[in-house]
Amino acid sequence: MPTIFYGDIMPQNNITIDGRELSTEMTDLKDMIKDPNVVAVRVDGELKDLSGPVNGGEVIETIRSDSQSGLEIIRHSTSHIMAEAVMALFPDARPTIGPSIEDGFYYDFDREDTFSVEDLERIEQKMDELIALDTLFERKIMNRQEAISYFQEKGEPYKVEILSKIDDEVVSLYQQGDFVDLCRGPHVPSTGYIKAFKLLSVAGAYWRGDERNKMLQRIYGTAFSNKKELKQYLNFLEEARKRDHRRLGRELELFMISDEVGPGMVIYMPKGGMLRTLLEDFEKKVHFKRGYDIVYGPSILRGKMWETSGHMDNYKENMYFTELEGQLYGIKPMNCLSHILIYKNKVRSYRDLPLRYFELGNVTRHEKSGVLHGLLRTRQFTQDDAHIFCRPDQLIDEVSAIIEMVEDVMAVFGFEYEMEVSTRPEKSIGSEEDWEMATKALMDALKGKDLPFDINEGDGAFYGPKIDVKIKDAIGRQWQCATIQCDFTLPARFDMNYIGSDGQKHRPVMLHRVILGSIERFIGVLIEHFAGAFPVWLSPVQAVVMNITDAQADYALRIAERLKEFDVRAEVDTRNEKIGFKIRESRLQKVPYMLIVGDKEKAEDIVTVRERNGNQQTATLDDFISMVKDAQPSV
RNA sequence: GCCAGCGUAGCUCAGUGGUAGAGCAGCUGAUUCGUAAUCAGCAGGUCGUCGGUUCAACCCCGACCGCUGGCUCCA
């Protein structure tokens, strides 16, 4: 097996490292840089090992372990060390791939027995040993054929499969200790560079992400430049766990998902019901103000409708069906069909367009059991759905208006977001010109508003391209909520027309769009975003009135009555408990205001207003009421 | 749907092959109190469901249901 060792040749010549010019007398970049926090270098924009050859004259930028690239390298190297540990402990495992990912890394193995939690501990221990040995990561170059026979001999079929799909003549391998892996690199110079890592979980994962392939075992872990950062990340995971909407949903009595009723179905309890109503009232206002008409369609529609729409061919596995009086009916997974019928109910003129139909539509989809997740993935959910029918020349303006609407609404909740345009997928219908026109319209609308966006090649809906909006919650996680989809298929399938100024029939363009997406999902994201402490206008209970002793019970009740008269959502706590206990309970319920009334307040006809953050002040009830009213967002 | 783990009181969790416990919540009583838990007593579970092994199963085995973390898919 002929190999070329990288880093053997170091001709004497000057190089520039982070702007400093140095001579290359020393044989190792690592020795020249003399910084244990530097894990790799970037030469001419390309990431390279510290042990790479230097010809002289290069301009080199060092990559520190706490930079984004540095973290990726550390994590990638940690995954190799983990694979080495796994192979040492479980020689029957076959390594496949092990990249760095967003917050860590994973490595997939094919193995008969499964990895247990105890195994993870053993692997971690072994990794500690390997790191203590501080073995070098050595890069080797091999031509592809040699590499294939090498891995064949080693009995690593997955590596052979990867190699057989690589076009390059030569490939690189990395070895540390006994472990050799096919890998582009770069890696840290030696295992001792790994200062802080943790294995997190085991999970199944399909080979090459295809569900027709064998399921492998994936071990997830993470690594950071130092122990402190790792600890911060683990704390962050803990924080996320505390914010879990399923946990808060139960604790705040917002919703339940009952095994008896069935999986993936949400039951709103009084406080969740109030939250949802507030959100929906807000949505109605937002839509009416922007020229939408509210409509309602039935939940079950004749099978024939779904045949015409193409759902029978493209969406059947996700639908539920029922039979009534010998007729097939489909339970709606989308709201568009009724809206189309409303459009078709009479002859439309070009002057009528655009028509914007809005529905808080409850849809039912048969989601695979394994994907259900609290409010974030359910089998029944309500979309703040709308369909806009317009002339082609109105398309950009309509898309722009929707984007503005998304911006306005997200600003109310304080979400940041990213936009993504998805283009034509392989399996799709419609002409090339239509796709081009629609995709361009979507992009032009975004460009016109100077909004940056990513392009997601081939990820559009089968009937048209789309803009997806991913919102970022308070702890940085992303959720897909809003989506704007262009559709020229359904108007054709349902033979929709309008009469143009020329007296001829023309086909309208249809936009499907949601702003919050699914009300359920959005509520789930809201819960986690605010950690249950909703803004005043969205809080199911805005204030709890609490008395110090029985002597003020009548006063507390009177206050609560007044609040209700002024539409402030108030509860009253006159239980025979200490004020500290009542405050504790309201805090746990994340109620924005506590109105504390003792003898003093009763005598002066005022209240002490205690906020969630502990700040407090005395105020007249009228002042407090206007304070609550002022919290209502205007959009 | 697939892989792995899990399922004990309303919640959080102990527990052992010989028919179950704690804290909080609940109920009752006492306490009338000024900013995150007053004290005492009481009550509460066919140990997810169904089958099997066993003299005996919450515990062992199997199937099913559900949940959790992933994968695939998705609002």
Q: Å between A538 CA and B3 C1'?
A: 40
Considering chain A, what percentage of its residues have pLDDT values greater than 70? 96
What is chain A's length?
635
Which pLDDT score is estimated for A434?
A: 86
pLDDT in tens, A38-87: 888 888 788 888 877 676 777 788 888 889 999 999 999 999 999 999 99
Q: Would you report the helix, strand and coil content of chain A in percent, each value rounded to 5?
A: 40, 30, 35
Lowest mean pLDDT among A114-123, A188-197, A506-515: A114-123
Closest by CA to A467, choosing from A510, A420, A512, A400, is A420
Q: Which residue is nearest to nucleotide B4 (CA to C1')?
A: A203
Q: What is the set of active-site residues of A? A: 336, 365, 383, 385, 387, 466, 512
Q: Hey, what are A547's tokens?
A: 């008395």
Which pLDDT score is estimated for A410?
A: 94
Q: Hey, what are A196's tokens?
A: 């802080």
Which pLDDT score is estimated for A24?
A: 63
Residue given tokens 């979400």 in the structure block: A415
Which pLDDT score is estimated for A26?
A: 54
Using CB atoms within 10 A of its CB, is residue A40 exposed (0-12), middle (13-18) or buried (19+)?
buried
Distance between CA atoms of residues A205 and A550, nearest Å: 61
State chain A's mean pLDDT as an integer: 91
More confident site: A524 or A433? A524
pLDDT band, very low/low/confident/very high, at A3 (cuts 50, 70, 90): very low
Maximum mean pLDDT: which of A430-434, A599-603, A631-635: A599-603
- φ and ψ of A336, to 5 deg: -65, -35
Which pLDDT score is estimated for A51?
A: 78
DSSP per-residue codes, A340-397 = HHHHHTS--BGGG--EEEEEEEEEE----GGG-BTTTB-SEEEEEEEEEEE-GGGHHH
Distance between CA atoms of residues A509 and A140, nearest Å: 57
More confident site: A562 or A7? A562
Distance between CA atoms of residues A609 and A601, nearest Å: 11
> Is residue A485 within 8 Å of A423, Cβ to Cβ?
no
Residue A8, pLDDT above cutoff 60: no
Residue A429, pLDDT above cutoff 90: no
DSSP per-residue codes, A594-613 = EEEE-HHHHHHT-EEEEETT
Q: Å between A250 CA and B9 C1'?
A: 17
Residues A283-308, mean pLDDT to the nearest whole number? 96
pLDDT in tens, A461-497: 878 899 999 988 777 778 889 999 999 889 999 999 9
pLDDT band, very low/low/confident/very high, at A5 (cuts 50, 70, 90): very low
pLDDT in tens, A329-384: 999 999 999 999 999 999 999 999 999 999 999 999 999 999 999 999 999 999 99
Residue A630, pLDDT above cutoff 90: yes
Q: Which nucleotide is nearest to A519 (CA to C1')?
A: B75
Which pLDDT score is estimated for A10?
A: 46
Q: Which residue is nearest to nucleotide B68 (CA to C1')?
A: A373
Q: Hey, what are A341's tokens?
A: 């019928």
> Is residue A84 within 8 Å of A130, Cβ to Cβ?
yes
- For residue A392, say if its preceding peptide bond is cis, omega within 30 degrees of 0: no
Q: Å between A575 CA and B46 C1'?
A: 37
Residues A251-274, mean pLDDT to the nearest whole number? 94
Q: Å between A115 CA and B70 C1'?
A: 14
Q: Hey, what are A176's tokens?
A: 């540390």
Which pLDDT score is estimated for A2?
A: 33
Which pLDDT score is estimated for A43?
A: 82
> Is residue A137 within 8 Å of A175, Cβ to Cβ?
yes
**Which residues fall within 8 angstroms of residue A80, CB to CB, at 6 or more apart?**
A98, A137, A174, A176, A179, A181, A183, A187
Q: Hey, what are A531's tokens?
A: 């950690």
Lowest mean pLDDT among A34-43, A412-421, A447-456: A34-43
Residues A157-177, mean pLDDT to the nearest whole number? 92
Say which DSSP state A116 is in.
P
Distance between CA atoms of residues A592 and A612, nearest Å: 5
Which pLDDT score is estimated for A1?
A: 31
Q: Hey, what are A132's tokens?
A: 């203590």
Q: Kindly state the greatest CA–CA separation across chain A.
A: 95
Distances A6 to A27, A42, A138, A172, A307 between C-alpha atoms, Å? 12, 16, 8, 10, 62
Residue A315, pLDDT above cutoff 60: yes
Q: Which nucleotides of B are covered by protein (CB under 7 A)?
A: 1-5, 11-12, 30-38, 65-75
Q: Hey, what are A175's tokens?
A: 């070895």
Say which DSSP state A207 is in.
G
Q: Which nucleotide is nearest to A380 (CA to C1')?
A: B75
Neighbouring C-beta atoms of residue A603, cutoff 10 Å: 10
Q: Which nucleotide is nearest to A204 (CA to C1')?
A: B3
Residue A4, pLDDT above cutoff 60: no
Neighbouring C-beta atoms of residue A520, cutoff 10 Å: 23
Which pLDDT score is estimated for A356?
A: 98
Residue A511, pLDDT above cutoff 50: yes
Q: Å between A175 CA and B21 C1'?
A: 55
Residues A410-427, mean pLDDT to the nearest whole number? 90
